[in-house]
């Protein structure tokens, strides 16, 4: 994050990354995130801390026709990976515990794998259907939510990297930024703005405001890395 770059609304920079608040609205064309013709086979390397217990998506990739092509959702006790419209697999893993989580999610062929503990722990889930082979370059990438009107992911993001190669999966900690490996020592020095907030069924997202038309701060947050 540089001082010359506009920070999207609802996003707070801190020493190790950014904090997404309920007011965050970040959307960008898929073509600015991933190369044209990108496959749905990819690896995500994540370092994050959830601040509110809800059912928000960490991100969603939607086609021009608004069909969900790819996404990761955090619900209490589970991580759900979507690889097509209404098609998903899930893992028993709780992100909503107020702790920092470093993980990798590998989508390869008909299998999705969640790696934790620097690759020492891995869980596979088989896709019992044929997924889309390529992402729509005319589609949109939404960070922190599934649609403009859905609930927003609230939390701190130290790293969100997308790799086309699976080679980093088993040793993903080697690809974590130094500050993310030490994320607990880099908590933002803020007032109790960001405690672990309970789920509030009566709470609804604030009135949607204009989406950021360009990538802006997301470029530093999301790295489309070359083949390893």
Mean pLDDT score, 33-55 = 90
pLDDT of residue 71: 95
Mean pLDDT score, 108-127 = 92
* 142 DSSP β-pair partners: 27, 60
> What pTM, to 2 d.p., does this model score?
0.78
**Residues 155-211: pLDDT tens digits?**
999 999 998 877 778 889 898 998 898 655 445 544 444 444 445 444 444 333 333
Closest CA to 118 of 60, 202, 180, 200: 180
pLDDT of residue 213: 33
Percent of the chain residues past pLDDT 70, beyond the cut: 77
SS3 228: coil
Band of pLDDT at residue 34, cut at 50, 70 and 90: confident
pLDDT of residue 5: 58
Mean pLDDT score, 7-30 = 91
For the cut 70, the answer to whether the pLDDT of residue 132 exceeds it is yes
CA–CA dist 220, 17 (Å, integer): 9
Closest CA to 26 of 220, 223, 224, 218: 218
- The angle subtended at Cα 175 by Cα 63 and Cα 134, nearest 5°, is 20
Q: What is the average pLDDT value for the chain, to the nearest integer?
A: 80
- The angle subtended at Cα 199 by Cα 198 and Cα 205, nearest 5°, is 120
**Residue appearing with tokens 């809800």:** 54
Band of pLDDT at residue 215, cut at 50, 70 and 90: very low
Q: List phi, psi (to 5°) of 173.
A: -65, -25
Half-sphere exposure of 218 (CA within 13 A, CB side): 25
**From 130-139, 173-182, 211-220, the region with the lowest mean pLDDT:** 211-220
pLDDT of residue 40: 85
**Residues 69-106: pLDDT tens digits?**
999 999 999 999 999 877 899 999 999 999 999 999 99
Mean pLDDT score, 53-58 = 96
């Amino acid at each position: 994050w540089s001082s010359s770059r506009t920070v999207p609304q609802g996003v707070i920079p801190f020493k190790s990354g950014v904090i997404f608040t309920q007011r965050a609205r970040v959307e960008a064309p898929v073509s600015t995130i991933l190369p044209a013709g990108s496959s749905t086979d990819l690896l995500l390397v994540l370092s994050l801390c959830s601040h509110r217990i809800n059912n928000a998506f960490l991100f969603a990739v939607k086609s021009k026709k608004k069909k969900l092509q790819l996404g990761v959702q955090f619900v209490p006790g589970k991580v759900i990976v979507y690889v097509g419209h209404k098609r998903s697999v899930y893992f028993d893993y709780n992100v909503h515990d107020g702790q920092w989580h470093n993980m990798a999610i590998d989508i390869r062929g008909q299998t999705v794998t969640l790696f934790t503990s620097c690759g020492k722990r891995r869980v596979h889930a088989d896709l019992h259907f044929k997924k889309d082979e390529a992402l729509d370059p005319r589609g949109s990438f939404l960070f922190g939510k599934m649609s403009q009107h859905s609930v927003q992911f609230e939390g701190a993001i130290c790293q969100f990297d997308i790799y086309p190669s699976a080679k980093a999966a088993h040793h993903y900690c080697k690809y974590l930024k130094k500050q993310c490996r030490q994320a607990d020592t880099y908590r933002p020095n803020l007032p109790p703005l960001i405690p672990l907030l309970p789920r509030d069924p009566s709470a609804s997202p604030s009135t949607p405001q204009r989406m950021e038309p360009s990538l802006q701060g997301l470029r530093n947050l999301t790295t489309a890395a070359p083949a390893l």
